[in-house]
Structure 1
């Protein structure tokens, strides 16, 4: 017996999609999760200082408001607790099969089913939803000798909590979003911290603080207070899209704020000079922190800007010096443009998704892929953001997928498949619009494929995406009715 919907992944996308399907009356849903617990990136990233850079009230589902967040920017444990709460409250926890990794999904056109192979067995689905996210597979740098290191080494998203860093000589490779949260924490206990920087990030003020008891009381008891807070934050963040996607020159205003922040927090002119990026603000992810720059000024912290040449059994070598260390932490990001890897996805006529995406990932509205009927992606290509909450984008996608699932049921369809010309037109539009954005201002970022295509980000306002995904357009799809078998 085939399941109505099988969802891969139990992060915000998978849990939210399962909840929305249940509320729509679709109860035969299975969520496949390779790990032993739900949460996606918020389960995996347990490094010291892990937190979100989107305010709490916006980094949560609109249908499940939480008025007792402890801080304006939520810490990792609290976000993970929130996801567990949502899964329990809305009755989807028992839909999750933990410890079940998908290895292959193959579309059986005759039966109009997805045949899904996992590490624990086989199952069939009428509809397959990928909620794997973009930031789930760690990227380790191809540095010579990396495997030769005799000490402890690990990626930031696979933090080794059994390693005590107190009094240790620690090397941290990378200065991205994870690193700026890690540095202030481990600088407090490590004897020496060597931070290896390839390119300086833009780091701006993070107005974080605990919520006061009276603020929580107002949010809990005053009608409209929470909605107003959420709307205010949304409008403030959404306005930044003008600089990212419409008028990149406006980023100059934010850059002035960055320079002011840097000057206030870093007194040493030489160190300050090393922390000024050599690319336009916004081209790479803008980071938020009030503790990163002060941590770099500590006497036990050393910022190293010379390129790493190799890793040795005892440490890290640049062209000019060798640094003996006890622990190496790689805060080097994720394989963000390989959306469904390492799964093998096979659609109509035996076509593999990796082959279909050899020139870069493509999906109409970031959700449907031509030649792969009844397959829907959450947080797929062209749906990441540089300025607002991805939860807002996910909720737009939930509604679109629900519309497709309802169309299958209402019209007695075996499958729907987005037309190739529709997908091609969307991809051309995205690539054309992307040229005007700050993300194509000349830097290399995790938004890009190896050949320089930005395939992760949405080049527009989030409300425009919500409007575009309000309902599926029947003219965009080819269909097969159940009577055709």
Structure 2
């Protein structure tokens, strides 16, 4: 029996996987299989359903440029609208029919027969000429390693598995974590709780959020005149670019810009929190940009409530009925909310075992030889492989900037493969090394090298202490290189 060899297997049905499937279909590759471990598409916007969930950058910039949505209800759209947008795009561009849900990938191996074998939990195997991983950066939940956490007798909720059936009214709850998720969640649940204790390990930089409802008249204008929404997107993208590229990636040359944003955030904190000691605890002790900042008008005022308590003493252990801090103080609770985010560097990169040519293990290679990927998509020793969530791939603050630059790279690469009549492509060691050297050199200007980041506990840094997640260039540079990288940087056969 002849085994079917598909054009491509894409792992992940979030926005990255949807974009990859759209681009492959545009290039004439229609025999696609998109594998998704969750029950539906949408990635993080399907998994996360906690109260207050919303995009944390303006909605106008958080969408595919070729498929603008004129009907966002707010400047910062709620999570349900992002999920609906993902469904709309997948159906409009006819990629949903390629998707298989509730399908867990155990690993993938490059076969000497010049194709990939993808192993699925349960024993099934798929074969494909191309393998694309679109498992996202925020796909593996992080659980805190706190003594006694398994003994807690009350209700435990992780924000990535929110349970709407749980009635929070009148409960005594604790939230562990004060990252971007907690900033959205805490103001929503605090009024419903009898008592809320927030356990903060690291304060977060929070700036004002210019959020408001988008009037229906404006939505109709965007629908009739797409150029109007495109102009808003351009302005929003420019502001984000200024913050990220100038204030963070070019920190050494733009310290004044970075410090001006810090002052804005500190004024925001001073205006919104009454108690001086609480303000002190909520003030970050690291440079703006070391850790992903966020926007909110409601997070800080929550700590003015009589039923909300901020605890910064480290947790010693969790007992069946409460949390004990290192100073011996015990807070009795009946509900534990884990807003502890995602594990990028231990259980991701890659999210499953990938074995390339000659038995090369991608996870071991990255950890032993430094995290690296040419233009954020390709790794030497892994033919016909495109990693869409890679070191040095994240460009700008909107994930869609990354997605679309990678779609552009994929288009240029696969057209050259077809022109040559080749069966395989692989990035050369030389090109990969040159790109890595260039990215490493450019990081020397960044806040990660020149700022005070030691206490930030930022997921930007891997376990080696290197900030290899973000591409340290402008988004303009990322797009330009995606459409003009030297074709001979790859070898073809």
TM over 0.5: yes
C-alpha separation in 2, matches of 1:122 and 1:464: 39
- C-alpha displacement of 1:436: 2.0
Q: Secondary structure at the match of 1:224?
A: helix
C-alpha separation in 2, matches of 1:428 and 1:145: 45
Q: Which residue of 2 aligns with 1:392?
A: 401
RMSD: 1.4
- C-alpha displacement of 1:85: 0.5
- C-alpha displacement of 1:7: 0.6
C-alpha separation in 1, matches of 2:51 and 2:375: 36
Equivalent position to 1:177, from 180, 203, 206: 180
Question: Any residues of structure 2 matched to 1:69-80 within 5 Å, and which?
Answer: 69-80=72-83
Contact preservation (8 Å) 1:9, 1:34: yes
Gaps of 5+ in 1: 481-485
Q: Which residue of 2 aligns with 1:474?
A: 487
Q: Given the alignment of the two structures, is residue 349 of structure 1 paired with residue 358 of structure 2, yes or no?
A: yes
Q: Which residue of 1 aligns with 2:339?
A: 331
State the number of aligned residues. 478
* 1:337-380 CA-partner distances (Å, limit 9, x unpaired): 35344411100011111221123421111100100001001132
Q: Which residue of 1 aligns with 2:372?
A: 362
Q: Which residue of 1 aligns with 2:412?
A: 403
C-alpha separation in 2, matches of 1:174 and 1:370: 38
Q: Which residue of 2 aligns with 1:310?
A: 317
Question: Any residues of structure 2 matched to 1:119-268 within 5 Å, and which?
Answer: 119=121, 121-222=124-225, 224-240=227-243, 241-248=245-252, 249=255, 250-268=257-275
Contact preservation (8 Å) 2:413, 2:487: no
C-alpha separation in 1, matches of 2:350 and 2:332: 36
- C-alpha displacement of 1:258: 0.7
Q: TM-score, normalised by structure 1?
A: 0.96
Gaps of 5+ in 2: none
Contact preservation (8 Å) 1:379, 1:394: no
Q: Secondary structure at the match of 1:178?
A: helix
Q: Secondary structure at the match of 2:56?
A: coil
Q: Secondary structure at the match of 1:127?
A: strand
Q: Which residue of 1 aligns with 2:474?
A: 461
Q: TM-score, normalised by structure 2?
A: 0.94
C-alpha separation in 2, matches of 1:397 and 1:126: 19
Contact preservation (8 Å) 1:137, 1:336: yes
Question: Any residues of structure 2 matched to 1:80-119 within 5 Å, and which?
Answer: 80-109=83-112, 111-119=113-121
Contact preservation (8 Å) 2:350, 2:362: no
Q: Secondary structure at the match of 2:107?
A: strand
Equivalent position to 1:21, from 21, 24, 37: 24
C-alpha separation in 2, matches of 1:244 and 1:77: 31
C-alpha separation in 1, matches of 2:204 and 2:349: 28
Between stretches 16-25 and 124-133, larger displacement belongs to 16-25
C-alpha separation in 1, matches of 2:316 and 2:439: 38
